Amino acid sequence: MNHIVEIRSGIELPAMREAVTLLTSDGLKLVGELALPVGGEPVATLITLHPLPTHGGFMDSHVLRKASNRLPALANLAVLRFNTRGTSSPQGTSDGEFGEGITEVADVVAAVQFAKSRGLPNLWLVGWSFGTELALKYGPDQDVLGAILLSPPLHRTSDQELERWNSSGKRLVALVPEFDDYLTPEMAVARFARVHDIEIIGVQGAKHLWVGESSTTRVLNEIVRTVNPSAYPLPERVELVTTSAE
């Protein structure tokens, strides 16, 4: 039996979900989850980097959770989420302690190496707030196609680290809320001026935390447009197959 459901805040679409552990080069175990499309291979992979853990960010932060809940089914994407060192969420607590974005380089490397060990294709870093700092600082050295930045504050990334993207051969896409608390679209154009090839998308009416279904939908659509344009735009409704016991 089939029925049509509307894509809205709490929906969790079918996916193969697996609790995973990432092992870092300095001996830490990081709590994570891998979500894969049901019944087929993914066309691309999102390695998500969450907001600042000292201010409530973790792998279950809502945009990342909704990406995992929707994009395997709607866009044929693999979504890897994990708690960086010292971060707790309902999924569990990762070893170690917060490293101000410095020791977290090992966390980023561990996530990319895990994805590669699973044979996942077309890897992309997707950072949100603090997670964008990790993507910007360490992405040029990783075997990824590029990075998608959600609400980049540019607090921890130096000009020299930005310039490294110019010789990386990787894409950069930044989604900047109109009413961001730290970096508005106009400010982003100026701060990212030293990066030769970056797409900056100002999102009208949005705020740093992307609160509201319209903001979430815009973020997920822009991610899909970048990594799997054949699945863009995402549907507003989807047909689900359900089974009933006789």
pLDDT tens digits along 31-83: 999 999 998 999 999 999 999 999 999 999 999 999 999 999 999 999 999 99
Q: Does 241 have pLDDT greater than 80?
A: no
CA distances from 120 to 1, 58, 148 (A): 32, 23, 18
pLDDT tier for residue 5 given thresholds of 50, 70 and 90: confident
As a whole number, mean pLDDT of residues 139-145 equals 98
Cβ–Cβ < 8 Å for 28, 111? no
The Cα–Cα gap between 69 and 154 comes to: 28
Share of the chain residues as helix, strand and coil, in percent rounded to the nearest 5: 30, 25, 40
What's the number of CA atoms in the CB half-sphere (13 Å) around residue 186? 1
Cβ–Cβ < 8 Å for 134, 104? yes
Closest CA to 102 of 183, 33, 161, 188: 161
Cβ–Cβ < 8 Å for 28, 114? no
What's the number of CA atoms in the CB half-sphere (13 Å) around residue 143? 12
pLDDT tier for residue 246 given thresholds of 50, 70 and 90: very low
The Cα–Cα gap between 130 and 118 comes to: 26
Q: CA-CA-CA-CA torsion for 210, 205, 226, 22, nearest 10 degrees?
A: -10
As a whole number, mean pLDDT of residues 107-134 equals 98
Q: Does 167 have pLDDT greater than 50?
A: yes
* Topology at the third CATH level for domain 2-241: Rossmann fold (3.40.50)
Angle at 158 between CA 226 and CA 167, to 5 degrees: 55
The structural domains of the chain, with segments of one domain joined by +, span 2-241
Residue 62 Cα to chain centre, angstroms? 11
Closest CA to 91 of 112, 61, 111, 113: 61
Residue 22 Cα to chain centre, angstroms? 16
pLDDT value of residue 245: 46
As a whole number, mean pLDDT of residues 7-22 equals 94
Percent pLDDT > 90 in the chain is 92
pLDDT tens per residue, range 57-71:
999 999 999 999 999
As a whole number, mean pLDDT of residues 6-13 equals 90
Q: Does 242 have pLDDT greater than 80?
A: no
Q: Does 243 have pLDDT greater than 70?
A: no
Q: Using CB atoms within 10 Å of the CB of residue 189, give its burial: 0 to 12 exposed, 13 to 18 middle, 19+ buried.
A: middle
Residue type, 67: A
Q: Does 187 have pLDDT greater than 60?
A: yes
DSSP state of 11: -
Global confidence as pTM: 0.96
pLDDT value of residue 124: 99
Q: Which helix (H) or strand (E) holds 189?
A: helix 185-191
Percent pLDDT > 70 in the chain is 98
- Mean pLDDT rounded to a whole number for the chain: 96
Of 238 and 79, more confident: 79
pLDDT value of residue 10: 86
pLDDT value of residue 153: 98
